[in-house]
């Protein structure tokens, strides 16, 4: 949406192709009960328009899905975006056609072009393609035997029905215990006859302590919103997380406990910034992990269930979850937890599912099983660059690109918050705005200098991939767990840590590249 607005203002002709019936992306699809952002509303919102950020009023500290979707609709109306968005249009193929490709390029105006095919057969031509396909948009539905046999509704959190789902009196089964499951469980449990949750890996979750928007806080931020944004953009992940510059190991046990306790009471993702070495020192990390496990044991009354809910992986290695009464939900009589490591799911049946131990009967089955993250949506399209090179082939051993923005062999092709950029490890809206502005400014430069194509050089790409890995390998992220950051949640997916760790240093690098004549890119003029 912002790319459309920004590029349009630069005088480009822009067309957006969108699978959904309307705007909103993640917030259009993930409409399950309890869906809510884990970044504070005053931060998880556009800053490109001062009037917009001043006038929009968030009702809660953390906005719920419906409110964020309302915001997206407001932005679409306010900036008259819909007239250039083609909804209900899923792109199935994108092929680069070089200017000298002769007959194949007929009707494209003679220059290099992308030919984009939608699954309804419609064909579009564009000089530049910007992939805003999302990091968590391609649903992961594990290939359980008998998946099609289930006779009741089988719902994935990432593709939730538009109608209200009635859980009253229903026996509900849910597979998965990541962020989505943690949000939905406390909402379903009070309505359902029973809720059975199948857990493979326990997650660390911090209470959200969500509340209605504090009017004083809102007024203070809005009095100098630009300063608030600028301050956050200098912080790790572009979040207002009040980072502690001390190591968890250089303070006394009492100070450490007090610091964790304060963060627990404040709630949310800033818990990760309790100390400066939680992502790099296993010993430091263990202190935070043990603190959270103690909290879980204090909340969950049944000691066997509490132990099962205690995560044993590195804290924060998988995306930290933020909840409202998740652990408390297990104190209800109608909620049960099944450890699928001890009792693997063997098959889905017409009436529920079978584990190695017993058969479960459900009226509704929920897959809270996450996404083929970061690369899934891109690789779901048949994308071919120069000489027919397919992105699927190029990324067979993991994504390769430069700055997370551009792929060698794929000219005039950009990825917004692609693998190799901070994306999911930053405030997403801030990361998106930075990418949109960098790409828009780049296109403007190309136009001013009559450059017809731009793409990453293979050397710059190789150096960037090495850097992304080098930085990741200094942390606990690659080895501490099987996270979607590494593709480990998808059978057969190459295991490689995909995001670039380091916002705001990443922004500086992007700016240096642009001011050095797009160093590391190959620019060609017709």
User: Which positions lie near ligand NAP, rule CB under 6 A?
Assistant: 36-38, 136, 142, 157, 175-181, 183, 198, 200-201, 319, 322, 340, 368-371, 424, 482, 484, 489
Q: How far is the CB of 60 from ligand NAP (least distance, A)?
A: 13
184 exposure class (CB count in 10 Å sphere: 0-12, 13-18, 19+): buried
Whose Cβ is closer to ligand NAP: residue 105's or residue 210's? Answer: 210
Q: How far is the CB of 370 from ligand NAP (least distance, A)?
A: 3
Cα–Cα distance, 452 to 456 (Å, whole number): 14
Q: What is the DSSP string of 430-472?
A: HHHHHHHHHHHHHHHHHHHTT--EEEE-HHHHHHHHHHHHHHH
Q: How far is the CB of 481 from ligand NAP (least distance, A)?
A: 8
**Residue whose pair of structure tokens reads 């390029």 in the numeric block:** 105
Whose Cβ is closer to ligand NAP: residue 70's or residue 84's? Answer: 70
Q: Give the angle subtended at the CA of 374 by the CAs of 386 and 172, to the nearest 5°.
A: 140
Contacts (Cβ under 8 Å, ≥6 apart) of 125 = 107, 108, 109, 113, 114, 115, 116
Cα–Cα distance, 413 to 518 (Å, whole number): 15
Whose Cβ is closer to ligand NAP: residue 109's or residue 145's? Answer: 145
Q: 378, 326, 370, 380: which is closest to 159 by C-alpha? A: 370
Q: How far is the CB of 96 from ligand NAP (least distance, A)?
A: 31
Q: 64, 33, 72: which is closest to 161 by C-alpha? A: 33
Whose Cβ is closer to ligand NAP: residue 183's or residue 232's? Answer: 183
Whose Cβ is closer to ligand NAP: residue 47's or residue 183's? Answer: 183
Q: How far is the CB of 408 from ligand NAP (least distance, A)?
A: 29
Cα–Cα distance, 287 to 260 (Å, whole number): 9
Whose Cβ is closer to ligand NAP: residue 238's or residue 451's? Answer: 238
Q: How far is the CB of 303 from ligand NAP (least distance, A)?
A: 22
Whose Cβ is closer to ligand NAP: residue 85's or residue 278's? Answer: 278
Torsion-angle region of 46 (φ positive above 0: left; ψ -120 to 50: alpha; else: beta) = beta
Cα–Cα distance, 246 to 250 (Å, whole number): 7
Q: How far is the CB of 37 from ligand NAP (least distance, A)?
A: 5
Cα–Cα distance, 305 to 247 (Å, whole number): 32
Whose Cβ is closer to ligand NAP: residue 259's or residue 285's? Answer: 285
Cα–Cα distance, 214 to 237 (Å, whole number): 24
Whose Cβ is closer to ligand NAP: residue 7's or residue 367's? Answer: 367
Q: Which residue is nearest to ligand NAP (CB)?
A: 178
Q: Give the angle subtended at the CA of 90 by the CAs of 125 and 141, to the nearest 5°.
A: 145
Q: How far is the CB of 403 from ligand NAP (least distance, A)?
A: 22
Q: How far is the CB of 329 from ligand NAP (least distance, A)?
A: 15
Whose Cβ is closer to ligand NAP: residue 6's or residue 484's? Answer: 484
Q: How far is the CB of 287 from ligand NAP (least distance, A)?
A: 23
Whose Cβ is closer to ligand NAP: residue 127's or residue 140's? Answer: 140
Contacts (Cβ under 8 Å, ≥6 apart) of 286 = none
Q: 178, 209, 204, 199: which is closest to 286 by C-alpha? A: 204
Whose Cβ is closer to ligand NAP: residue 248's or residue 338's? Answer: 338
Q: How far is the CB of 20 from ligand NAP (least distance, A)?
A: 17
243 exposure class (CB count in 10 Å sphere: 0-12, 13-18, 19+): middle
259, 469, 476 from 285: Cα distances, Å: 14, 21, 9
Q: How far is the CB of 506 from ligand NAP (least distance, A)?
A: 18
Q: 317, 322, 238: which is closest to 37 by C-alpha? A: 322
Whose Cβ is closer to ligand NAP: residue 44's or residue 521's? Answer: 44
Q: How far is the CB of 363 from ligand NAP (least distance, A)?
A: 20
Residue 26 backbone dihedrals phi, psi, to 5 degrees: -45, -40
Token pair listed for 493: 């997916």
Cα–Cα distance, 73 to 85 (Å, whole number): 13
Cα–Cα distance, 153 to 143 (Å, whole number): 17
**Residue whose pair of structure tokens reads 């089964």 in the numeric block:** 173
């Amino acid at each position: 949406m912002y790319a459309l607005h920004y590029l349009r203002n630069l005088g480009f002709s822009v067309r957006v192709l969108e699978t959904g019936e309307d705007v909103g992306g993640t917030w259009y699809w993930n409409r399950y009960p309890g869906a809510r952002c884990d970044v504070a509303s005053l931060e998880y919102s556009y800053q490109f328009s001062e009037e917009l950020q001043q006038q929009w009023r968030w009702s809660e500290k953390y906005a719920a899905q419906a409110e964020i979707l309302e915001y997206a609709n407001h932005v679409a109306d306010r900036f008259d975006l819909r007239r250039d968005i083609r909804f209900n249009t899923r792109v199935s193929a994108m092929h680069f056609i070089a200017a000298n490709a002769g007959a194949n390029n007929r009707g494209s105006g003679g220059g290099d072009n992308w030919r984009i095919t939608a699954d309804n057969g419609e064909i579009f031509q564009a000089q530049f393609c910007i992939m805003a396909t999302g990091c968590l948009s391609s649903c992961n539905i594990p290939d359980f035997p008998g998946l099609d046999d289930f006779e009741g509704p089988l719902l994935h959190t990432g593709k939730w029905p538009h109608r209200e789902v009635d859980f009253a009196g229903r026996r509900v089964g849910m597979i998965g215990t990541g962020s989505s499951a943690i949000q939905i469980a406390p909402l379903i449990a009070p309505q359902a006859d029973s809720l059975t949750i199948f857990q493979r890996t326990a997650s660390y979750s911090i209470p959200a302590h969500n509340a209605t928007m504090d009017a004083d806080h809102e007024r203070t931020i809005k009095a100098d919103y630009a300063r608030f944004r600028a301050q956050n953009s200098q912080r790790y992940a572009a979040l207002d997380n009040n980072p502690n510059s001390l190591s968890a190991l250089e303070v006394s046990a009492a100070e450490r406990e007090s610091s964790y306790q304060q963060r627990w009471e404040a709630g949310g993702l800033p818990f990760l910034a309790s100390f400066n070495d939680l992502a790099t020192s296993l010993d430091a990390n263990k202190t935070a992990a043990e603190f959270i496990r103690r909290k879980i044991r204090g909340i969950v009354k049944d000691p066997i269930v509490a132990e099962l809910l205690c995560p044993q992986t590195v804290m924060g290695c998988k995306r930290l979850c933020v909840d409202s009464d998740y652990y408390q939900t297990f104190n209800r009589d109608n909620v049960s937890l099944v450890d699928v490591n001890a009792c693997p799911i063997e098959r889905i049946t017409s009436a529920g599912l079978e584990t190695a131990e017993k058969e479960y009967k459900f009226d509704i089955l929920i897959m809270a099983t996450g996404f083929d993250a970061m690369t899934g949506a891109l690789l779901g399209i048949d994308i071919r660059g120069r000489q027919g090179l397919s992105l699927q082939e190029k990324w067979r051993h993991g994504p390769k690109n430069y700055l997370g923005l551009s792929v060698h062999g794929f000219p005039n092709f950009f990825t917004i918050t692609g693998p190799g950029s901070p994306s999911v490890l930053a405030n997403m809206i801030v990361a998106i705005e930075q990418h949109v502005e960098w790409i828009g400014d780049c296109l403007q430069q190309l136009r001013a200098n009559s450059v017809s194509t731009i793409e990453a050089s293979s050397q710059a790409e190789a150096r960037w991939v090495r850097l992304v890995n080098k930085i990741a390998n200094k942390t606990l992220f690659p080895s501490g767990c099987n996270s979607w950051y590494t593709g480990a949640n998808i059978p057969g997916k190459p295991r490689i840590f995909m995001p670039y760790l380091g916002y705001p240093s990443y922004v500086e690098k992007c700016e240096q590249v642009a001011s050095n004549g797009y160093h590391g890119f190959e620019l060609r003029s017709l």
